[in-house]
Chain A
Amino acid sequence: MHPRVHRAVFRSRAGSRTSNSSILISSTTSVDTASRTKKNPRTRRPISTNSNTGVAVAMTAEQNNVHNAAVSVVDSLITESSTSQDDVVRLCAGLILDGQLPHLQRQLHADFLTIPMSFQLPPNYTGLDASKPWLVYWPLQALGILDPDSLTDDILSRIGPSIMACLNETEGAFGGGNGQTSHLAATYACLNALAIAQDEDVWLQINRERLYKWLMSVKRPDGGFSMHVGGEEDVRAVYCALASAALLNIITPELTEGTAEWISRCQTYEGGIGGAPDNEAHGGYAFCGLAALCILGNPIEMIPKHLDVDNLVRWLSARQYQPEGGFSGRTNKLVDGCYSWWVGGCWSILEGALSWITAKDVLWSKADLQKYILCCCQSPRGGLRDKPGKSSDFYHSCYVLSGLSEAQHRYSFSPKLRDSSTGKWSFMWAYKLELPDVVIVDEQNTVRPINPVHVLPAGTGERMHDFYAALGALEL
């Protein structure tokens, strides 16, 4: 056992914060310090980015997105929303470099991310005690694309027992910790962690028949899923159920009946997707809905069939803010590094799966997102964060780095990769490094590609799925 509690984590308030700011767990971003400071400026005016010093990669004018002709139109009316927005712009403006990009602090972040493998987390992490599988998955996913060599055999071999401690044997599903009720988000995080572990002995311990029956027990007659028996029904639950079933190769027509139609009902008049029908459009739920459609069938057909794509693309495009360069999760909310993945992941899927977007088209600014991540989301103590002024945590580290990977790569859906049949659709994604005229990827800043539907290091989910596919069909 680990006798020492890690001090860097102890000093932060990451435990209480992350418990409330992670999409798949609570879907709300926490109240930020910026919105609490009430330094109402008399009038709103555009805030320009400042020059700064620091080691960097030189960028071309194109890369730096210098828009010389740009005219900022800012409303003079001050409200709570505009005050917090102005505060964030001011915070970011001081950090965004003009013409230069800071490096990704690889070692610093790797050191932060290996904390849960080397130390006990301090008591303020108790708020995440019902999210233990996430505390395992987030740093593994982040390290898997940042620094796979740091995932030693020792660490990989400890994933299986840590995850199996969350298993409820009679149901075949996982809870948020030892002895906790089976839960879809926990099950998703557990299976993703096991995918990264690549441990066939542990894979054999999963009872897929039981898990399938449990998944059917949380399926609702309207096509949606509940997070747990008697729990809330939302599009995260749909995504977590389908992603889990896809990894285990237990997708059936019965499991997926009515689900695409239910997702379709979650698209709002704004174009984004809400947690449930009528709920506000939200980046986290948009990813869950879109990724779920990519599991349900051929995304080239499924996405246009069940969503108003023009309206979705318009809404996604409006998520990227100037001058920050990062994404917000909802209209008139602030940028947050975690949406680098939730919104960026939507882009990777759409770019890869829509026939009318050609390989030449990039519909958003990958260079500006990379800049936001490198300039504003790197915490000096290691780990990635929501925005300047916030502490880093494992949740943000996972999704900010996944977003960076998204910005640096170009994904395509390639049905020729395997035979097209039920349950295989989410394992047909190919990738390549993005072109330098879209985003300059310095070698030192590169993170590895991912499977954009499962949010796993490329290849890991594919191998887990193939393992179960080779075992043959289930007797259901």
Chain B
Amino acid sequence: MPTTMFDRIWDSHVVADLGEGWSLLYLDRILVHDLSGGRAMAEIAEAGHRVAEPSKVFATPDHAVSSAPGRTAETFAKGGKLLASLRARCAAEGVRMFDLGQRGNGIVHVMGPEMGIVLPGVTLACGDSHTCTNGGVGAMAFGIGASELTHALATQTIPQRRPGTFRIRFEGARPDGVTAKDMILAAIGRFGAAAGTGMAMEYAGGAVRAMSLEERLTLCNLSIEMGAKVGMVAPDDTTFEYLAGRDFAPKGALWDAALADWRKLPSDADARFTRDEVIDMASIAPQITWGTSPEQVSAVTGHVPRLEDAPDAGRRQAWEAALRYMGLEPGQPLVGTKVDWVFIGSCTNARISDLRAAAAVLKGRKRAGHVTAWVVPGSEQVKAEAEAEGLHRQFLDAGFEWREPGCALCVAANGEAVPPGARCVSTSNRNFVGRQGTGARTHLASPAMAAAAALAGSIVDVRSF
């Protein structure tokens, strides 16, 4: 019987059948961060347990660390306490931790693939919903809550209910100015923020095959904004070239054995998915969100919707509330909307290719005088690579701030926030009410679109900029 990649990885990790679709799954990797990692390890210790397999657990502080240039653990005091707890617990349990300033430090979903910790065909859990990002290398990776994390750490397993499968094939040539971010935002706009609930996504098609590995990570990153815990792209030579030689990737004979296993992962050509959709690449233009859910998104050339165009009463009510929060008028064009802040960063779009794409828009120009623009590299490695290429100099010359790695303004857990009422074009993944700070108004877009908005001081179509 033909099978999907998801089926194969799931089936090969079942330790026990728990009935009614539930399985006890073995976890090949667990990633922890400062917001919940120290506490989870403390809780299992209080209950008399140890971390079951410390060699398969990796930690990095990212959520509650300051991104200020020259930051230390103490720059954001509340975060400093979490970091101290993470350090102490990792030391006690023998868990590897990549501390501030060290190679390997960074946003947990940037660090995992970059260090070769996350590999094709592995299962991975992390106490963060954007763990789906790691599916870009062909892993089955999903976010879990704090209690599930204690179970994962204490047993190296997790009970899960088998989801359905949802494939989206992106077919056709990629139009000018369209990035992975635009593709996934367009998909969420088309299918809705709950379309992937109870599903594991697989992204396929010619346009995905042609993508770089980093673009695939961006694509998978927003799976959870469609409701899916898991998003995956089949591994191929692009994946293997990316992983070869990375710190924790297999080497020598192990690499050869791994490669043989990985080549068997892609879904059979005639595999059946619970839901299967095709998106024509020609239908996608650069996207930007206008509301407070990622499904409230439009081509940048479009308009804020009119309430009478809402498909039902519930949607109309949601649109009205979103527009009130966002300070937008029904029917107004998106282009020309004044912008106060720009944030280039996050597990969605803070890898080296993202920073190159943003820098390429600058062309020696400066940010608009009223705009505050931040660039927060995704990891120490990204930061070092960007500085070696001189990208930081280009951003600084354009009047952007060049900051330290971490989640920063994507989640505003580290004392940094977009001020109330300020409008921010952000390369992150959530435009929820208050996400970037109380009263902050977020427009999600690609790195190039964000950089262009910083220069123009308003939302612009990057293709004509």
Q: Do A and B come from one complex?
A: no
